[in-house]
Amino acid sequence: MGRRLVAALGGVALALSLVACSGEGAGSGGDTAEKKPGDLTIGVSMPTQTSERWIADGNAVKEKLTAKGYQVDLQYAGDDIPTQAQQIDQMITRGADVLVVAAIDGTALSGQLQAAAEAKIPVISYDRLILNTPNVDFYVSFDNYKVGVAQATALLVGLGLQTKDGAKGAATGPFNIELFAGSLDDNNTQYFFKGAMDTLKPFLDAGTLKVKSGQTRIEQAAILRWQQETAQKRMEDLLTSAYNDGSTVQGVLSPYDGLSRGIITALQNAGYGTGSKKMPVVTGQDAEVASVKLINDGVQGSTVFKDTRLLAEQAVRAAEAFLQEKTPEANDTTTYDNKVKVVPSYLLPIETVYKEDITKVLVDSGYLTAEEVAAGQAKK
Ligand code: GAL
């Protein structure tokens, strides 16, 4: 009898502590569980429309939420930090019940997220982790460290130093390579670069790979706001400063397809890809259609495919859980520390795409059509 009472009291204590937990941070979003989907609004804040992937992300999240009957307030910030802050402020004043945010600068939204917390609006960080605030409740992304590993591995495979199954390749080098990184205000940038550098390190240490420019630090390799033009300019500068002695570059680590296109333009303008000057092995990320065409044409070496349909699905699941005053399902509760707390995350798998994988991975799955790949342009 006594034991049962203790067990029952333990249960009550557990239930109370769970209630207390769910009341933490941004909280439960008010009485959303009782409302009809049509009375609930999800604010979706995306960074930019200049990159095709964020358009796909925004559309996918909106379509999936609308199909479930929710109202969606989707905004793009034109890669301008004050614009994103203002759009989120507006979403809060217009009464959003959940926010889904892909931040331009992961450290710049603390004020907005404080206001969201005060209004009990749960916040889901979309693909890029929002830093330095307790007011981010969930994170949906991919395994970003593995993206960097995959990019470096694709570089090694392209150069023939490694085979796809991880065995030693036939090539011996040494090869000249150059390194690019993403925007330093994007938390993912560090993960991509670290994953890549950990993978390249043994080859750099052995002298099989040489960064001829000597620019190996992330601050030197970074491209602010992931701008294609900035990457093109940096590649041009590298070619004129480090390759003016008749030497050539054989590989370029690029963390994103948009940057890869800028890099490829600089290389082509310098005569690579024609005559004896072979196009270097260039990596990428996002399977943007213009780059998939370049891979298909044998110009870009590879990309890392992150299925934005699945990411959108996870964001929608998390948003629905919050609206039903439940805790979204996480599959990683240790990795993503935003400097104030470890944010519970749902991380999705990634896939490297070489030319021979385009049909199976991208076309057969319905992500792109064969016509779009051939044209290098999305239909819509
Ligand atoms: C990152 C994202 C990449 C790429 C890049 C540039 O945050 O993880 O997939 O899209 O931004 O947009």
Residue range 185-228, pLDDT digits in tens: 999 999 999 999 999 999 999 999 999 999 999 999 999 999 99
How sure is the predictor about 23, in pLDDT bands with cuts at 50, 70 and 90? very low
pLDDT given for residue 380 in this prediction: 65
286 lines ligand 1 (CB under 6 A): yes
Q: How many CB atoms lie within 10 A of CB 146?
A: 17
53 lines ligand 1 (CB under 6 A): yes
pLDDT given for residue 6 in this prediction: 45
The number of the ligand 1 atom at minimal distance from the alpha carbon of 306 is: 9
- What percent of the chain is predicted at pLDDT more than 70? 92
128 lines ligand 1 (CB under 6 A): yes
How sure is the predictor about 22, in pLDDT bands with cuts at 50, 70 and 90? very low
The arithmetic mean of pLDDT across residues 234-262, rounded, is 98
CA of 13 to the centre of ligand 1 (A): 43
Among the listed residues 102, 14, 75, 77, the one whose alpha carbon sits nearest the alpha carbon of residue 308: 102
The arithmetic mean of pLDDT across residues 155-166, rounded, is 97
Range 144-306+353-375: architecture per CATH: 3-Layer(aba) Sandwich (3.40)
Nearest CA to ligand 1 atom 5: 256
Among the listed residues 244, 270, 267, 243, the one whose alpha carbon sits nearest the alpha carbon of residue 254: 267
How sure is the predictor about 369, in pLDDT bands with cuts at 50, 70 and 90? very high
Range 21-136+308-348: architecture per CATH: 3-Layer(aba) Sandwich (3.40)
How sure is the predictor about 20, in pLDDT bands with cuts at 50, 70 and 90? very low
Q: Is the pLDDT of residue 8 over 70?
A: no
pLDDT digits (tens, 9 = 90+) for 132-149: 999 999 999 999 999 999
232 lines ligand 1 (CB under 6 A): no
CA of 366 to the centre of ligand 1 (A): 21
Q: Is the pLDDT of residue 353 over 80?
A: yes
pLDDT digits (tens, 9 = 90+) for 170-193: 999 999 999 999 999 999 999 999
Contact yes or no for 235/178 (Cβ under 8 A) = yes
Label residue 230 exposed, middle or buried (CB < 10 Å: 0-12, 13-18, 19+): middle
pLDDT given for residue 1 in this prediction: 37
- Answer whether 0.75 is exceeded by the pTM: yes
How sure is the predictor about 30, in pLDDT bands with cuts at 50, 70 and 90? low
The number of the ligand 1 atom at minimal distance from the alpha carbon of 144 is: 8
Give the chain as a 3 state SS string: CHHHHHHHHHHHHHHHHHHHHHCCCCCCCCCHHHCCHHHCEEEEEECCCCCHHHHHHHHHHHHHHHHCCCEEEEEECCCCHHHHHHHHHHHHHCCCCEEEECCCCCCCCHHHHHHHHHCCCCEEEECCCCCCCCCCCEEEEECHHHHHHHHHHHHHHHHCCECCCCCECCCCCCEEEEECECCCCCHHHHHHHHHHHHHHHHHHHHCCEEECCCCCCHHHHECHHHCHHHHHHHHHHHHHHHCCCCCCCCEEECCCHHHHHHHHHHHHHCCCCECCECCCEECCCCCCHHHHHHHHCCCCCEEEECCHHHHHHHHHHHHHHHHCCCCCCCCECCCCECCCCECCEEEECCEEEEHHHHHHHHHCCCCCCHHHHHHCCCCC
User: Please, where in the chain does CATH 3.40.50.2300 lie?
Assistant: 21-136+308-348, 144-306+353-375
The arithmetic mean of pLDDT across residues 337-343, rounded, is 97
- What percent of the chain is predicted at pLDDT more than 90? 88
Nearest CA to ligand 1 atom 6: 226
Q: Is the pLDDT of residue 2 over 70?
A: no
Q: How many CB atoms lie within 10 A of CB 149?
A: 22
pLDDT digits (tens, 9 = 90+) for 64-117: 999 999 999 999 999 999 999 999 999 999 999 999 999 999 999 999 999 999
Residue with tokens 């804040």: 45
Q: Measured at the alpha carbon of residue 127, what is the angle toward residues 123 and 30, in degrees to the nearest 5?
A: 15
285 lines ligand 1 (CB under 6 A): yes
**Calpha distance 250→237 (Å, rounded):** 16
186 lines ligand 1 (CB under 6 A): yes
The arithmetic mean of pLDDT across residues 32-42, rounded, is 89
CA of 256 to the centre of ligand 1 (A): 7
Q: Is the pLDDT of residue 289 over 70?
A: yes
The number of the ligand 1 atom at minimal distance from the alpha carbon of 192 is: 8
